[in-house]
Amino acid sequence: MRPVLSVLAAILLAAALPRPAEGREAVTACDRLASHPDDPDRTGPGVPQERMDMPRAITACTADLAAAPGTPRLAYQLSRALMLSGKPEAALPKLEQSAAGGYRHARFVLGLLLISGKGVAADPCRAASLWRDAAQAGHLLAEISFAATVLDGGFGRCGLEVPETEVRGYIAHARDQAKGTRLEQEVEELSQALEGDE
């Protein structure tokens, strides 16, 4: 199996995943300008990084979050626009706010930063907790990332007990969600790696 960071890079660089039907929340300017294509809880269409207008996104998201300060989705989207604008010191508190508010994609992204040590001190044990929470909430990328890192032994120093049935459950759920998408092969490789460990 490929190392977990190469799997994660492939996930993040590929095209957007399909998303569930529109939710009931109103689409804001921030949603239209800064939602991530792979965020399953986005209300906007999802904007690839190369098509984002960073100054407009930051302005819109700052205003929308000020109008609805308890909205983790908007805090995540503001953090995304700030991070991609090269402002990690301003982005990280918003990302933390969103993750603390239970936003699944923020937990996944913060975990990714903590695993890689990019822009933050590496902390794989905290990443494990964030990814596990997001995976338990059915976040596809978190399910894949958590299962892959467990199978690679990446959380070995964390004292984390992860029953095989839990990993199997994430892989099975991810298989259903990834069917017909760019991630189907990644999930199949995880399944084969799990079977190879027996």
CB 63 within 8 A of CB 29: yes
**Mean predicted confidence (pLDDT) in 56-61:** 98
Q: What is the mean pLDDT of the chain?
A: 89
pLDDT at residue number 102:
97
CB 106 within 8 A of CB 75: yes
CB-neighbour burial class of residue 161 (10 A; exposed 0-12, middle 13-18, buried 19+): exposed
pLDDT at residue number 195:
86
Q: Give the DSSP H or E segment for 116.
A: helix 104-116
CB 79 within 8 A of CB 89: no
Phi, psi of 85 (to 5 degrees): -90, 5
CB 1 within 8 A of CB 148: yes
pLDDT at residue number 104:
98
Q: Percent of the chain at pLDDT above 90?
A: 78
Distance CA 188, CA 21 (A): 26
pLDDT digits (tens, 9 = 90+) for 149-168: 999 999 999 999 999 999 99
pLDDT at residue number 194:
87
**Sign, CA torsion 97/85/39/71:** positive
Which domains, ranges and CATH numbers included, belong to the chain?
Answer: 4-196 (1.25.40.10)
pLDDT digits (tens, 9 = 90+) for 97-120: 999 999 999 999 999 999 999 889
pLDDT at residue number 196:
78
pTM: 0.87
pLDDT at residue number 130:
98
pLDDT digits (tens, 9 = 90+) for 15-46: 444 444 445 578 999 999 999 999 999 998 89
pLDDT digits (tens, 9 = 90+) for 5-14: 554 554 444 4
